Amino acid sequence: MLEIKRKQNLLIIKKEEGDKMKRFFFLALFFVVLSSTLFSQKINTTLTYSVNLPVKKTVKTPVLILLHGYGSNESDLFELAKTMDPRFITFSLRAPNDCKEQGYCWYELDRFPNGDFKYDYEQAKASRTKILSFISNACKAYHLDSTQVFLLGFSQGTIMSYDIAMFSPQKIKGIVALSGRMMEESKQQKTNPEALAKLKFFVGHGNSDNMIKISEAEKAIAFLKEKGVTQLTYKTYEMPHSVSGNELNDLRAWLTKALSPEEKKTQPKR
């Protein structure tokens, strides 16, 4: 009889443990579904994109927009998203135009042997409109902090970032400009000088870049300084037209610092 009671008690205990595990499983599933619902919004856009959700939840989620270079796609820079500050929600956008050879572009261009470019600025303007619309609609759909939007561009993506900064600086808090240049049309924009002066810039370029000469980065730096931009970091690296590990470390640190609120200076006691 005692043996039968022991077996019955063991069965009861196992059943209770099983019920607890089921409750825990369904509770965990509920939170996964809830989180997925909150952070799986549909953005009103014609652009194809990938999204990396923030690891660290904050009251106001900052935004990082990745803009790839000519002939590439949204997957090119997307892996960087996982290594950025965990507070960011990151969107990697695909350019809307098919390139002549392969991949996608923000605007079509032709390169000449002497290093000059011929490009379609009307396409660039159209892409700029789509990017700005995406930023606004993404912030609405995901309830993001529209005052903390950063652009990270490479090559043609940098050129587009500069153009957006000149056209609508109030929409952006900071720009990471890698291996790019600034179009003359961007410099001629009738921009808001006060809003532009508040922008933060990280500019990185390779010393041996044979695609976009380092002198182009220096011209962009000089122009920004003329326009009153003071929050400007410029670094060069021993590399061609690419992104290096050292550059990645520097821009990650810069983005984290750019997110952090500035420390208030304490007044000395009298």
Give ∠ CA 163-90-123 in degrees, rounded to 5: 30
In 3-state terms, the chain is what percent helix, strand and coil (to 5)? 45, 20, 40
Lowest mean pLDDT among 40-44, 167-171, 264-268: 264-268
| The predicted structure's pLDDT at residue 110 | 87
| The predicted structure's pLDDT at residue 27 | 41
Give me the sign of the Cα torsion angle 36, 54, 132, 261.
positive
Q: Is the separation of the CB atoms in 211 and 241 below 8 Å?
A: yes
Token pair for 194: 């006060």
Q: Residue 134: phi, psi to the nearest 5?
A: -60, -45
Q: Is the pTM of this model over 0.85?
A: no
- Residue 11: is its pLDDT beyond 80? no
Q: How confident is the model at residue 117 (pLDDT cuts 50, 70, 90)?
A: confident
What is the dotted CATH code of the domain comprising 44-259? 3.40.50.1820
Q: How many other β-carbons are positioned within 10 Å of the β-carbon of residue 155? A: 24
| The predicted structure's pLDDT at residue 26 | 44
DSSP state at residue 237: E
Q: Is the separation of the CB atoms in 30 and 120 below 8 Å?
A: no
Tally the residues of the chain.
Answer: 270
Q: Is the separation of the CB atoms in 179 and 154 below 8 Å?
A: yes
Q: What is the mean pLDDT of residues 176-203?
A: 96
| The predicted structure's pLDDT at residue 17 | 58
| The predicted structure's pLDDT at residue 9 | 55
- Residue 146: is its pLDDT beyond 70? yes
| The predicted structure's pLDDT at residue 18 | 56
- Residue 2: is its pLDDT beyond 90? no
Q: Is the separation of the CB atoms in 52 and 78 below 8 Å?
A: yes
Percent of the chain with pLDDT over 70: 81
Token pair for 266: 């304490």
Q: Where are the domains of the chain?
A: 1-38, 44-259
Q: How confident is the model at residue 111 (pLDDT cuts 50, 70, 90)?
A: confident
Token pair for 218: 């220096």
- Residue 196: is its pLDDT beyond 90? yes
Q: Which residue has the higher pLDDT, 221 or 7?
A: 221
| The predicted structure's pLDDT at residue 21 | 53
Please write the tens of the pLDDT for every residue from 25-65: 444 443 333 344 445 578 999 999 999 999 998 889 999 99
Q: Which residue has the higher pLDDT, 260 or 159?
A: 159
Token pair for 14: 């196992």
